[in-house]
Amino acid sequence: MKRILSLAILLVFTIKSLSQNIPSDSITTFYLIRHAEKDRSDSNNKNPHLTDIGKARAQHWNNILKHVKFDAVYSTDYFRTRETALPTANSNKLGITLYNPNELHIETFKKDNLGKHVLIVGHSNTTPALVNKIIGKNEYDDINDSNNGNLYIVTISNDVISHMVLEINNQ
């Protein structure tokens, strides 16, 4: 895991060094994750909270992303997504902005977040779909329901878009 994380950090610094002549306010980086493990004890509950393991993963995401100074944190309006976003939002002294993936106008969203570092917490289907909208192509499939450890990183510098997914499933 440390090797993958080191590679991701190296990629971010490489992108920054290659873009030295580009004003930093025109570089946007989106970090997208699925919510952590939810309580599945009541199959009728459409809005469950995180389990203890999920709460630990939410804190783990905060630790993994501790060197990123976020400008915004977005979450869908569910307990599990807000609870996943909360440790990172708190560490960055930010509130959580709620979004509806079905009503999100992607070009406006990108424009509103120009030059920012943004964390977005969604679901197994909405997270990869949002990545696909941001990058403008259908690259990523839905996340397997047992996987709560994908980290998608999308960087936009002017009109150049780079993207990758890291699988971080160990806590």
Q: What is the pLDDT of residues 16-40, one digit of tens each?
A: 444 455 455 689 999 999 999 999 9
* Closest C-alpha among 124, 122, 119 to residue 147: 124
Between CA 144 and CA 147 the distance in angstroms is 5
Phi, psi of 38, rounded to the nearest 5 degrees: -100, 160
pTM of the model: 0.86
115-153 CB burial, b ≥16 within 10 A, e <16: eebbbbbbbbebbbbbbbbbbeeeebeebeeeebbbbbb
pLDDT per residue as tens digits for the range 125-138: 999 999 999 999 99
Q: Tell me the CA end-to-end span of the chain in Å, nearest whole number.
A: 10
Contact between 87 and 109 (Cβ < 8 Å): no
Strands 96-98 and 72-75: parallel
- Judge whether residue 10 has pLDDT over 90: no
DSSP state string for 51-98: -HHHHHHHHHHHHHTTTS--SEEEE-SSHHHHHHHHHHHHHTT-PEEE
What are the boundaries of each domain within the chain? 2-167
Report the distance separating Cα 42 and Cα 135, nearest Å.
Answer: 36
Tokens of 3: 């090797």
Give helix then strand counts, H and E, for the chain: 5, 6
Give the β-pairing of 27-34 and 150-157: antiparallel
Q: Per residue in 39-61, pLDDT tens?
A: 999 999 999 999 999 999 999 99
> pLDDT exceeding 90 applies to what percent of the chain?
82
Average pLDDT over residues 105-126: 97
Domain 2-167, CATH class in plain words? alpha beta
